[in-house]
Amino acid sequence: MDLIVLDTETTGLNAADGHRVIEVGCVRLANRKHTDLRFHSYVNPGRAIDPEAQEVHGITEQFLEDKPVFSEVVDHFLEFVGGSELVIHNAPFDIGFLNQELELTGSSVRLEDICAVTDSLELARQMHPGQRNSLDALCRRYGVDNSGRDLHGALLDAEILADVYLAMTGGQTTLTLEGAPSREAATDSTESGFRNDVEFPVICVDETELAEHRRWLELLGPDSPWHEIDQAGDVPQR
């Protein structure tokens, strides 16, 4: 199943208050690698944009006057995302807005019925409890370049989130919140099948490897939890 990283921009914060989607951006990943496949559309919401929201994304009502309404792009959007795993930062927000847009077109489709959904914000909170886990904070933590992000934009944010998500999930090929083991399960040798009665060899590093390790920590930034792990004990050297 391909991953599709998705983001939206809206007229305001709450779909229940009648706010609408004004931009949708999606990027497709295949085998944990970027592809050239994108879905991107601005959407005419047919209503005013809250000033607070406009300060975040910079999209004006005048800019959207000649853009399509959601019903004109919905078929292309569903064709692009259907059957994929969606990765969304704060997924309930975007899913709630998009499901409302689908309902307003007369469709009975709900995104969670045709896609798996992974909330990268919830995943980040599990991985980094007690820390800031906004997209900007995660960029700093994982060394992802977001220097071009002066304002929020759905496609740009989706591209940045794709890099962050790949960094967060490391070498794993699949990782969803439903399938992630809990902290308790991971430490229970009976449940996990991990044996704690085996003595593992200590592998020492040479000066070159240690220098590369330090350089990697610098790239991750001072907020990275790896700094705490690194400072917890000495690295055995050859």
Which residues are designated catalytic? 152
**CB neighbour list of residue 210: distance below 8 Å, 6 or more residues apart:** 235, 237
Place of tokens 């991985």: 127
Other beta carbons within 10 Å of 146? 18
Task: Supply 20's token pair.
Answer: 């609408």
**CB neighbour list of residue 7: distance below 8 Å, 6 or more residues apart:** 24, 25, 26, 88, 89, 94, 154, 155, 157, 158, 161
**CB neighbour list of residue 66: distance below 8 Å, 6 or more residues apart:** 44
3-state SS assignment for residue 3: strand
Beta bridge partners of 10: 21
Task: Supply 109's token pair.
Answer: 């489709």
3-state SS assignment for residue 98: helix
